[in-house]
Amino acid sequence: MERGKLIVFEGADGSGKSSHAKRVVERIKNWMKETGKPGDCVYHREPFEDLVGATIRASLSGQVRLDPDAAAYLHVASRIEHIREMERQLAAGNYVVCDRFYLSNMAYNQTEHLDMKAIYELNKICRQLIEPDLILYLDVTLEEAKFRRKKDGSRVQAELYDADEVQRKVLNRYREIVAFLQEQGVRVSTVDAMGPREEVHARIWEQVLPVLEDRS
């Protein structure tokens, strides 16, 4: 059985991750049919649907309060469970498109004790367990992200991280994280996610297809 591939979407709240990730899932399914690949393509998102992930979600919606340092670690614990599940999918020849991964941890969970590099180190075990074939960072302006967030009522992180000041920090951190990870040799690329959906999708597919065809 040929191993599947893991494509990750990252970006600030409202950058378009979920909508573009789901669209790519459909496109990969079509590509699999056309090329006669067996198996399926599945959409995953973090926080994962395990018990730890449920606790994290409850804290994002304000139902429970988590210590920020503890939250940073909980994300890692939940991610390990998630990686086990993704690994099963990939080993079965399925493709996985994942909405948020450890870059989100690095962008959202910094504290006075945990800076970007510290959270990168916390995720060392995750990087040892799985390596995405491609990480796409969807880059939009602060204003566009805010505009798009208003259109979408289903967002998980609506309450905890909604303040403009937090969003500004997150966006700046993402750009810093991408530069840092590229220096570390991680396969992450920035997609200009401004402009019409069709154009953004085309830019995304331009990066995904070579990975599917093993010519990246």
Ligand X SMILES: Nc1ncnc2c1ncn2[C@@H]1O[C@H](COP(=O)(O)OP(=O)(O)OP(=O)(O)O)[C@@H](O)[C@H]1O
Interface residues with Mg ion (CB under 5 A) are 18
Omega before 47 within 30 of 0, i.e. cis: yes
151 binds, among ligand X, Mg ion, none (CB under 5 to 8 A by kind): ligand X
Which one of 9-17, 129-137, 177-185, 202-210 is the stretch in contact with ligand X (CB under 6 A)? 9-17
> Is 119:72 a contact under the CB 8 Å cutoff?
yes
Q: Which residue is nearest to Mg ion (CB)?
A: 18
User: Which of 15/110 has CB closer to ligand X?
Assistant: 15
Distance of closest approach, residue 17 Cβ to Mg ion, in angstroms: 5
What separation in angstroms does the CA of 139 have from each of 31, 148, 158, 192?
Answer: 26, 13, 19, 5
Show the binding pattern over residues 148-187: x = contacts ligand X (CB under 6 A), - = does not: xx-xx--x-x------------------------------
Show the binding pattern over residues 184-203: x = contacts ligand X (CB under 6 A), - = does not: ------------xx--x---
Scan residues 44-103 and list those touching ligand X (CB under 6 A): none
> Is 127:102 a contact under the CB 8 Å cutoff?
yes
Q: Is the C-alpha dihedral spanning 156, 158, 160, 164 positive or negative? A: positive
136 φ/ψ angles, rounded to the nearest 5 degrees:
-105, 120
